Amino acid sequence: MLTLILKRILMALPVLFLVATLSFCLIRVVPGGPFDADKNLPDEIVANLKAKYNLDKPLPEQYVLYMQRLGRGDLGVSYKYVSRTVNDILLDAFPVSLVLGGLALALAVLVGVPLGAVAALGRGRWQDTLAMFLSTFGISVPGFVIGALFIYVFGIQLRILPVGLWESPWHMILPAITLAFSPAAYLARLTRASALEIVQKDWVRTAQAKGLSGSATVLKHIMRNSLVPVITVLGPLTAILITGSFVVEYIYAIPGMGRFFITAVMNRDYDLILGTTLIFAVLLIMANTFVDIAYQILDPRMRISD
Amino acid sequence: MLPLPYIYLLQIAIKIRTPLISRRFFSIFLVLVCTASMLTGCGQGRARYTPDTLRVNIGNEPPGLDWHTATDSTSFDVVSNIMVGLTQYTPDVKCKPSCAKSWDISPDGRTYTFHLRDDVKWSDGKPVTAYDFEYAWTRLLSPETAASYAFFLYDVENAKEWNAGKLKDAARLGIKAVDAQTFRVTLKKPAAYFIYLTAFCASFPMRRDVVQKYGNRWTEAGNMVTNGPFTLQKWQHEYKIELAANPDFFEGAPGVKLIRMFMVPEQSTAFALYENDELDFIDNRSFATPDVERYRESPEYKNFPLLRESYLAFNVKKKPFDNVLVRRAFAMAIDKNVFPKILRRGERPADSFIPPALAGSAKDSGMPFDPDLAKRVLAQAGYKTGAEVPAIDLLYPNREDVRLIVEATQDQLKRNLGVRVNLVNQEWKVYLATVRKDAPPLFRNSWGADFPDPETFMNLFTSYNGNNDTKWSSPAYDALIETAEAERDPVKRADMYRRADRIMCREACAIVPAFLATQNIMVKPWVKGIAMNPLDLQFFKTVTVK
């Protein structure tokens, strides 16, 4: 286990280096710069701005400077939010996204996995039809529609939940459900497909033949084994959910970091784009490492390959 | 009381009980949901507002509260309520004394001497002096500050040279604190509009000791020292700002004790918050067009024009618009009355580039709508029919309201002139870069006033202005603007701008003025004293919530 973690950390470094380098190059290829605005600034002022942020230096030098700062854990400064550093911005926003994403993830797993299991166990019956109808609905209807619908029904018509803002635990309910909707639906389909495959295995029949009770077969043999593909997608899903969602944060006015993935690009806020990308990469690598550990716990066969 | 939909949901849930979920689990779930509903249900009985607290939506995080590096209206909306400068704008955008009780202008119009009041205090109790202005203006112009709005003070002697780093000695700037109560500014040439600049955020005073003590973090709550009606109490980034009343403000304490400025980016959410009494005042940032329609007749709704004009611009160096006749034909084929009808936010069609609220505006400065004459003028230019004109690309930034405008323009040019127009859209920053570098033959643009004077609009089309993307230049126009800048007789000055507007919009027809944008606001009945102005600056010191 320890070697696996060490190995992953060593592998992560070149990956992060590559991500940083590629992102650095890509954002500078895009036309338009951070200081373009509808009111064109005099050349003298643009020169001052570029000098302040080292953008007047040749690109290779900018790259070296950036990498040196990165090595010190400094993600740079924002050109848009003038007096704030990227570290400040992400430190303020990430905890909010983490709470919301964590809630949504828990909700998605707690709803999606049982729903898929129910559908698989009642295959072809009404439970299956209903569960699959719900999950198709969840996958097809985008978050901004569900969010708007929730705001309208629970916030405006029934007035039982706040329509937005981030003031109390009550304010977390609608956004967490909105964010969990599509992953829950996806997990339900995945669990169903995987469980259907497992149900037909010989060892399930063996378990039943040796007289194991219905619920023990389901929990210990079918569910445990059908969770492997679910765990696989949970890695990237965790990274996506805890770094926030632009749509959900936008419609519920939540101060998370999901919005920066979009607005930083629109503002050509170079360091902030790189900062968000790197944080996402780090979280993705971490989540995938956890997935690998989970595999080993769930399926003893995988321990041999390590 | 449990609402009906909940009961239905629970009934369904109980029926589809699965082998994995026990009946007991469901009973617990049921109890939890009931408790939750009752707790939130209690919220319905809450007061609709808190007296002396104003809740508004500013839409987004202000990019910065340092008024030297801020460039956007969100930041200025906050700064305008925590700071005052030498002068202040009145609701009808005139200038009245503020930190300066009076000022003298030298006979040559180049030297302004401001006499400061002695009772204006910073929020930490220290007096506001001329030295704070001297420091602030020097800092704004310093190359290290890299302030976007440094050009605002380029009329000050040696300001541009010092800002460009060509001049190293700050003592040679035309900025001088003669003593604590006297601030003297020397301009490089007379500028009749200069006094307006002293009411704008970029020219506010600043405290050297505070900036030096906290560095980049001096604008955070707790560090910031200000002199206006409110002080910064709390700044929860990307979420909300709280301003507390400054009881020692020299004009007297403001009408409310607390302003909570939320940053709700999504219009429909902000509007729902307003409808649910969670916001007391909203403006365009919280208004989707269908909401304007729904509330047009409501006493809570108001609409007024801003000093922001949209226009269509020609690149006069590109065919076929290198021919003034073609430009005139295009201008006459566009009925501007269509724009308000499709945008439906109360926009005002524009006849001239100078908005009606400013001196020099005239109804006949632009081209009239006359499709028949347009066709004849196009024929004079050598195109017997519109179909002979090669298809024109019309560039616009990727925004919903702008798309509606350019589609209407495309339709009008096709219908009234028979010309084919291709719409080309680009992402905002790509669009800006394209227009700067090599503007296409036809593009849509807009301009908002920096200060309430025709100069802010008319200087835009001088040959030396960096924002003149039409490539049109006229020595006569340039000369007229330069004379008008120095002219101190308001009547003569207005006449010069009127002539310049006519040269640009009618004779040379470099642009086609389209419409003036408007501000739409909703105010709850318990809020009184909202004072709006066409510069779109929001001052909340006169507001009361009772």
Q: Does A216 touch chain B (CB under 8 A)?
A: no
| Cα–Cα dist A230/A241, whole Å | 15
pLDDT, one tens digit per residue, over B471-516 is 999 999 999 999 999 898 999 999 999 999 999 999 999 999 999 9
The CATH T-level fold of domain A91-305 is MetI-like fold (1.10.3720)
Q: What pLDDT does B27 receive? A: 52
* pLDDT for B333 beyond 60: yes
State whether B147 and A117 contact (CB < 8 Å).
no
State whether B262 and A253 contact (CB < 8 Å).
yes
* pLDDT for A21 beyond 70: yes
Select B84-215's CATH number: 2.130.10.10, 2.60.40.10, 3.90.76.10, 1.20.58.220: 3.90.76.10
Q: Give the mean model confidence (pLDDT) for residues B168-188.
A: 94
Q: What is the DSSP string of B19-84?
A: TTS-HHHHHHHHHHHHHHHHHHHHGGGS-S--TTEEEEE--S--S-S-TTT--SHHHHHHHHHH--
Closest CB to A215: pick one of B19, B269, B433: B19
Q: CATH code for B4-65+228-300+524-545?
A: 3.40.190.10
Confidence band, pLDDT 50/70/90 cuts, at residue B308: very high
Unique residue bearing structure tokens 């990956």: A15
Most confident region among A253-267, A284-298, B83-97, B104-118 by mean pLDDT: B104-118
Measured in whole angstroms, the distance separating CA A210 from the mean position of its chain's CA atoms is 43
Q: Which CATH class is domain B305-519?
A: alpha beta
Measured between its terminal Cα atoms, the distance across chain A in Å is 8
State whether B278 and A250 contact (CB < 8 Å).
no
State whether B266 and A36 contact (CB < 8 Å).
no
Give the chain A residue whose CA is nearest to the CA of B428: A266
Give the chain B residue whose CA is nearest to the CA of A253: B264
Which pair of structure tokens corresponds to residue A283?
Answer: 């979280």
Q: What is the DSSP string of B287-337?
A: --HHHHHHHTT-TTEEEEEEEEEEEEEE-TTSTTTTSHHHHHHHHHT--TT
Closest CB to A155: pick one of B18, B70, B276: B276
Chain A residues touching B63 at Cβ < 8 A: 80-82
Neighbours of A40 (CB within 10 A): 19
State whether A82 and B69 contact (CB < 8 Å).
yes
List, by residue range, all CATH 1.10.3720.10 domains of chain A: 91-305
Q: Give the mean model confidence (pLDDT) for residues B52-58.
A: 95
A82 to A78, B68, B219, B491: CA distances (angstroms)? 6, 10, 11, 42
* pLDDT for B293 beyond 90: no
Unique residue bearing structure tokens 């990165």: A70
Q: Which 3-state string (H, E, C) describes B496-518?
A: HHHHHHHHHHHHCCCEEEEEEEE
State whether A38 and B16 contact (CB < 8 Å).
no
Higher per-residue pLDDT: A219 or B111? B111
Interface of A with B in 105-134 (CB under 8 A): 114, 117-118, 121, 127, 130
Q: Which of B429, B469, B471 to mutate to test the interface with A (most CBs of A within 10 A)?
A: B429
* pLDDT for B28 beyond 80: no
Which residues on adjacent β-strands are paired with residue B303?
B520
Q: Are A45 and B151 contacting, i.e. CB atoms less than 8 angstroms apart?
A: yes
The ipTM assigned to this model is 0.85
pLDDT, one tens digit per residue, over B78-93 is 999 999 999 999 878 8
In chain B, % of residues over pLDDT 90: 69
State whether A31 and B430 contact (CB < 8 Å).
yes
Given the DSSP bridges, would you call strands B421-426 and B544-545 parallel, antiparallel or unpaired?
unpaired
* pLDDT for A259 beyond 70: yes
List, by residue range, all CATH 3.10.105.10 domains of chain B: 305-519
List, by residue range, all CATH 3.40.190.10 domains of chain B: 4-65+228-300+524-545
pLDDT, one tens digit per residue, over A136-169 is 999 999 888 999 999 999 988 888 899 889 988 9
Which pair of structure tokens corresponds to residue A3?
Answer: 């070697």
Q: What pLDDT does B35 receive? A: 54
Burial class (CB in 10 A: 0-12, 13-18, 19+), A51: middle
Half-sphere exposure in the Cβ direction for A305 (13 Å, CA) = 8
Higher per-residue pLDDT: A33 or A154? A154
List, by residue range, all CATH 3.90.76.10 domains of chain B: 84-215
pLDDT, one tens digit per residue, over A182-205 is 999 999 999 999 988 888 888 888
Which pair of structure tokens corresponds to residue A273?
Answer: 């784009």
State whether B430 and A32 contact (CB < 8 Å).
yes
Closest CB to B467: pick one of A40, A48, A82: A40
pTM of the predicted protein model: 0.84
| Cα–Cα dist B413/A35, whole Å | 34
Q: What pLDDT does B47 receive? A: 84
Confidence band, pLDDT 50/70/90 cuts, at residue A18: very high
| Cα–Cα dist A197/A23, whole Å | 41
State whether A92 and B238 contact (CB < 8 Å).
yes
Neighbours of B390 (CB within 10 A): 12
Neighbours of A111 (CB within 10 A): 21
Q: What pLDDT does A304 receive? A: 54
Q: What pLDDT does B508 receive? A: 94
Q: Give the mean model confidence (pLDDT) for residues B349-360.
A: 93
* pLDDT for B225 beyond 90: yes
Q: Are B63 and B72 contacting, i.e. CB atoms less than 8 angstroms apart?
A: yes
In chain B, % of residues over pLDDT 70: 92
- Going B194 to B199 to B201 to B206, the CA torsion angle's sign is positive
> How many residue pairs from chains A and B have C-beta atoms closer than 8 A?
175
